[in-house]
Amino acid sequence: MADAKITQLTEDTGLDATHVLPVVDVADTTMAATGTTKKVTLATLANWIASYLGLGDKSVRAFRTASTALTAGTWATLAFDNESYDTDTMHDNSVNNTRITFNTAGKYLITGCGRFTSNATHGLRIRLNGTTEIALISHGNSSANPEGTTISLLYSFTAGDYIELQAWSANTSISVTSAEFAAQKLA
């Protein structure tokens, strides 16, 4: 290959992640003043390009492992002590564990859900930066059985924004027995 021009090489139409591509590292002048030829796998190059362009998976799914008792007529901010995944350090299980914090700006799909112990009038809402309500859903009495409620929205966040999931009930002796909170970057 040292004596061949790239245009003289045979085209490889069966590329996969393990194929190696030549690159010139202009910061490394050990081979020549113009740079050193090195190799990179297609997979490494693809990951670098995705990172450089701000692409790739930016998502989190947090959940709680214990019930939260609700006080009638008061919004309770839910804490999440476990994660299924977190690809962008958006949630911490112990510090500010009520929050999903956006490290990467963009449009995200947000979902939250909670399971309530009875049919009491109840609701979920999502608050932005501790003050602004950006989504709300509520349900009236429907049956004597426990009920699950889901909330979702598409929203554009800037880096540093955070959201919290809150639960509410009109009745006493109601708990959220389980809850999940997730964010997935779309663009």
Do 18 and 93 share a domain, yes or no? Answer: no
Domain-embedded: residue 93: yes
Chain-wide mean pLDDT for the chain? 87
**CATH at residue 108:** 2.60.120.40
Do 22 and 64 share a domain, yes or no? Answer: no
pLDDT, tens digit, 9 for 90 and up, residues 45-90:
777 776 666 667 899 999 998 999 999 899 999 999 999 999 999 9
Domain-embedded: residue 79: yes
Yes or no: say if 110 and 152 are a contact pair by the CB < 8 Å rule.
yes
Domain-embedded: residue 1: no
pTM strictly above 0.85: no
Per-residue pLDDT, 81: 96
Question: In terms of residue numbers, what domain contains 116?
Answer: 59-185
**3 has a pLDDT exceeding 70:** no
Do 22 and 104 share a domain, yes or no? Answer: no
**How many domains are there within the chain?**
2
Helix (H, G, I), strand (E, B) or coil at 52: helix
Distance between CA 138 and CA 166 in Å, rounded?
Answer: 12
CA 175 to chain centre: 26
Do 11 and 78 share a domain, yes or no? Answer: no
Do 172 and 142 share a domain, yes or no? Answer: yes
Do 64 and 40 share a domain, yes or no? Answer: no
Do 76 and 123 share a domain, yes or no? Answer: yes
Do 129 and 48 share a domain, yes or no? Answer: no
